[in-house]
């Protein structure tokens, strides 16, 4: 692995002191902010995440706040998902598309009130798009980045740990809903969500001053649960089919290509900027789509660029994320495959950095 030079531009988070004290071994840069990627090792972190509970510094999931009378209209302009039925207290995963239907981001939308929303973004400066649209359409709305840093608690023992710190009532929060729970005299948004399939919560920490106190409180309360500092885990997220914007999809892709067609209410999402383009896609269907792929043989190297998928001498797609899965005894991967070769069981070849490998399109992800 290469070294990462320090600079202010690659921002630290309010939890960085805790992350360093916990012995972080590597980072990536996400929304120009440090995101840990390894503590003990990717595999050791994976086993621990699936059995115990981890606290993740995901402050890099920056929030874009929409506030004001036109905020609901603006939110609907961004996405083909129909937001009309969404109530305050709910979260919604939403594809964000440009006028061509290309994916600009895939955030979680948090509806705080009828006229106040947080867009919890993946890795692109989505605020610039939202501000540009708000300005161009002269909407009566305020768009900015509040000082909110999410902290995730993930793993099978996450509910027990979060209940110890925020109280038993947190157990009744349903999936993709949130409640307000007090910590050191401040009410924090605590949502049942997170970038793993192991269960857990995301706490939207407002203000940097209570960030390390909350980190320390979770670590202290979870000692007997085996709590550790952790981070989104490459192996677990591939097994679980959690796509990563910038890795598995870019602005070249429509939501339908990303398997996100179920979040596109193209008929009823009136006002969505990409609706015209997506109406056509929704009708015809995509010609390539995301698939789970098992790559045979030994452990694959790190996937730091698209690996071509080949069949019958033709390029029929690309793999964009891959890792060895100890629990499944195979290399698990995410790729985009042309419709001629996307049926489960189709044998393909993947051009990894170590050479060609046999691979098989899977019926679904592993979790």
The rounded distance, in Å, linking the Cα atoms of 240 and 228 is: 21
Can residue 22 be called a binding residue for a second copy (CB under 8 A)?
A: no
Kindly determine how many residues on this chain lie close enough to bind a second copy according to the rule CB under 8 A.
51
Least Å distance between CB 194 and a second copy? 19
Binding window for a second copy (CB under 8 A); candidates: 55-63, 149-157, 198-206, 300-308: 300-308
Least Å distance between CB 165 and a second copy? 28
Q: Is the four-CA dihedral 98, 100, 106, 111 of positive or negative sign?
A: positive
Can residue 91 be called a binding residue for a second copy (CB under 8 A)?
A: no
Can residue 262 be called a binding residue for a second copy (CB under 8 A)?
A: no
The rounded distance, in Å, linking the Cα atoms of 190 and 51 is: 22
Tokens describing residue 277: 């383009």
Can residue 120 be called a binding residue for a second copy (CB under 8 A)?
A: no
Of 154, 160, 158, 247, residue with least CA distance to 197: 154
Can residue 132 be called a binding residue for a second copy (CB under 8 A)?
A: yes
Can residue 140 be called a binding residue for a second copy (CB under 8 A)?
A: no
Binding a second copy by CB under 8 A: which of 38, 60, 119, 278? 38
Can residue 99 be called a binding residue for a second copy (CB under 8 A)?
A: yes
The torsion of the CA quartet 249, 253, 258, 262, rounded to 10 degrees, works out to: 130
Binding a second copy by CB under 8 A: which of 247, 308, 340, 346? 247
Contact call for residues 359 and 333 (beta carbons, < 8 A): yes
Can residue 103 be called a binding residue for a second copy (CB under 8 A)?
A: no
Binding a second copy by CB under 8 A: which of 63, 149, 244, 331? 244
Can residue 126 be called a binding residue for a second copy (CB under 8 A)?
A: yes
Can residue 195 be called a binding residue for a second copy (CB under 8 A)?
A: no
Residues 6+ apart with CB under 8 A from 268: 82, 84
Least Å distance between CB 25 and a second copy? 6
Nearer to a second copy, 25 or 328 (CB): 25
Binding a second copy by CB under 8 A: which of 146, 156, 246, 326? 246
Residues 6+ apart with CB under 8 A from 69: 115, 140, 141
Task: List the interface residues with a second copy, window 319-348 (CB under 8 A).
Answer: 320-321
**Which helix (H) or strand (E) element contains residue 30?**
strand 26-30
Q: β-strand 200-206 against 186-191: which pairing, if any?
A: antiparallel
Binding a second copy by CB under 8 A: which of 85, 136, 312, 329? 136
Binding window for a second copy (CB under 8 A); candidates: 108-116, 119-127, 146-154, 259-267: 119-127
DSSP state of 253: S
Backbone angles phi, psi at 56, to 5 degrees: -115, 130
Tokens describing residue 295: 């790559």
Backbone angles phi, psi at 259, to 5 degrees: 75, 25
Binding window for a second copy (CB under 8 A); candidates: 47-55, 181-189, 243-251, 342-350: 243-251
The rounded distance, in Å, linking the Cα atoms of 177 and 347 is: 40
The rounded distance, in Å, linking the Cα atoms of 172 and 156 is: 16
**Which helix (H) or strand (E) element contains residue 179?**
strand 178-183
Binding window for a second copy (CB under 8 A); candidates: 10-18, 156-164, 212-220, 283-291: 10-18
Angle at 175 between CA 170 and CA 178, to 5 degrees: 50
Binding a second copy by CB under 8 A: which of 37, 233, 289, 325? 37
Binding a second copy by CB under 8 A: which of 27, 117, 118, 366? 27
Residues 6+ apart with CB under 8 A from 40: 25, 48
Task: List the interface residues with a second copy, window 147-186 (CB under 8 A).
Answer: none
Binding mask 199-238 for a second copy (x = CB under 8 A): ----------------------------------------
- According to DSSP H, which parts of 52-203 are helical? 71-78, 126-136, 158-166
Footprint of a second copy on this chain (CB under 8 A)?
A: 1-12, 24-29, 32, 34, 37-38, 98-99, 104, 123-126, 128-137, 244-247, 273, 302-306, 320-321
């Amino acid at each position: 692995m290469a070294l990462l030079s320090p600079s202010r531009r690659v921002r630290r988070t309010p939890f960085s002191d805790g992350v360093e004290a916990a012995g972080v071994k590597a980072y990536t840069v996400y929304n120009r902010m440090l995101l840990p990627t390894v503590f003990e090792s990717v595999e050791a972190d994976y086993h621990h995440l699936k059995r115990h509970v981890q606290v993740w510094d995901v402050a890099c999931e920056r929030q874009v706040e929409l506030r004001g009378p036109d905020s609901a209209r603006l939110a609907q302009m961004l996405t083909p998902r129909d937001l009309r039925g969404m109530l305050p207290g709910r979260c919604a995963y939403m594809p964000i598309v440009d006028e061509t239907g290309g994916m600009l981001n895939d955030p979680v939308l948090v509806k705080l009130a009828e006229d106040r929303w947080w867009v919890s973004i993946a890795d692109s400066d989505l605020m610039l798009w939202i501000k540009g649209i708000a300005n161009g359409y002269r909407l009566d709305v305020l768009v900015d980045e509040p000082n909110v840093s999410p902290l995730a608690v993930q793993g099978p023992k996450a509910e027990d740990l979060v209940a110890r710190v925020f109280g038993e009532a947190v157990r009744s929060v349903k999936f993709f809903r949130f409640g307000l729970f007090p910590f050191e005299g401040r009410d924090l948004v605590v949502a049942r969500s997170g970038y793993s399939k192991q269960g857990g919560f995301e706490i939207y920490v407002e203000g940097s001053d209570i960030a390390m106190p909350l980190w320390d409180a979770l670590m202290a309360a979870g000692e007997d649960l085996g709590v550790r500092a952790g981070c989104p885990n490459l192996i677990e997220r591939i097994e679980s089919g959690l796509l990563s914007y910038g890795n598995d999809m870019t602005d070249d892709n429509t939501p339908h290509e990303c398997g996100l067609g179920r979040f596109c209410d193209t008929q009823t999402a009136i006002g969505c900027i990409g609706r015209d383009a997506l109406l056509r896609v929704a009708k015809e269907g995509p010609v390539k789509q995301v698939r789970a792929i098992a790559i045979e043989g030994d452990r694959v190297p790190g996937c730091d660029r698209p690996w071509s998928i080949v069949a019958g001498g033709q390029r029929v797609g690309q793999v964009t994320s891959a890792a060895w899965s100890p629990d499944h005894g195979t290399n698990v991967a995410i790729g985009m495959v042309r419709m001629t070769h996307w049926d489960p069981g189709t044998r393909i070849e993947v051009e990894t950095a170590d050479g060609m490998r046999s691979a098989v399109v899977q019926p679904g992800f592993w979790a």
